Amino acid sequence: MTYDRLVCANCAAPVSEGRCPVCRASRERLQQQQNPFSHVNPVTLIALLVVLIAALALVAHQTV
């Protein structure tokens, strides 16, 4: 999950703005926990998965 869509329960503002100490702490924690694929668009990940499956199917078909 990315912090740009989260709303702070303390101040009701987006966490990405960091208006209160709770927002800033949450934003900092989420930035440290991000994985390498967190900035990639989900549509791009799905497209890469489809390409990988197609490549595996092609290789499997050629070896039969």
- Enumerate the domain spans of the chain: 1-33, 38-64
Instruction: Count the helix, strand and coil residues of the chain and give each as a percent rounded to the nearest 5.
Output: 65, 5, 35
Phi, psi for 7 (deg, rounded to 5): -115, 135
User: For the chain, how far is it from start to end, CA to CA, in angstroms?
Assistant: 42
Which 3 state secondary structure label does DSSP give 46?
A: helix
pLDDT in tens, 5-60: 788 888 988 888 888 999 888 888 877 777 776 677 889 989 999 999 999 999 99
Which has the closest alpha carbon to 2: 28, 42, 34, 50? Answer: 34
Between CA 54 and CA 17 the distance in angstroms is 41
